[in-house]
Amino acid sequence: MLPLLASLAFLAAGLSSQTNAAFAQVPPSLHGVWVNPSGTVKVETGSCADRLCGWVVWASPDAIDDAREGGTEHLLGTRVLSEYDRVAPGTWQGNVFVPDHGATFFSKIREIDGDSIRISGCLLHGLLCKSQVWRRA
């Protein structure tokens, strides 16, 4: 009986780790280039390890100036989305760096459809949030 229980425990642990790994993988639908509502910044998203991240790949001159005023000297290539983990189907939590404020905030990304996502930046771990809908570029 003990060997059977040990085998079941080993199998359950293996299935659990496979399920968690599959749940954590970034779906291809989130990979791509996204543009903010004002059309001044484009961010490319992709996997970094098993998490979702995003880097600035294009910015308007005004966005570059605003970022510089906020303390970000080189906006292009800056990681603005980091450490996003999938917490539910279509929902991710991580951190968003806002270059023109020079600050990082708790954040959620929610898939709206294949061509749009809602990104929220929050204070107090989600109590006060501001959201934007970004569209696929």
Q: For the chain, which domains are there?
A: 27-136 (2.40.128.520)
The pLDDT assigned to 27 comes to 62
pLDDT at 96: 98
Query: Which residues are paired to 120 by β-bridges?
Result: 108, 131
What mean pLDDT value characterizes the chain? 85
In this structure, what is the dihedral angle of CA atoms 69, 72, 78, 84, given to the nearest 10 degrees? -90
Which pLDDT does position 137 carry in this prediction? 95
Are residues 87 and 93 in contact, defined by beta-carbon separation less than 8 angstroms? yes
Other C-beta atoms within 10 Å of 31: how many?
A: 13
What is the mean predicted confidence (pLDDT) over 80-108?
Answer: 96
**According to the model, what pLDDT value does residue 11 have?**
35
Q: What is the pLDDT of residue 21?
A: 44
Helix and strand numbers (H, E) in the chain are 2, 8
Listed range (15-19, 61-65, 67-71, 100-104) with the worst mean pLDDT: 15-19
User: Would the CA dihedral through 54, 57, 63, 67 be positive or negative?
Assistant: positive
Mean pLDDT of 48-52: 91
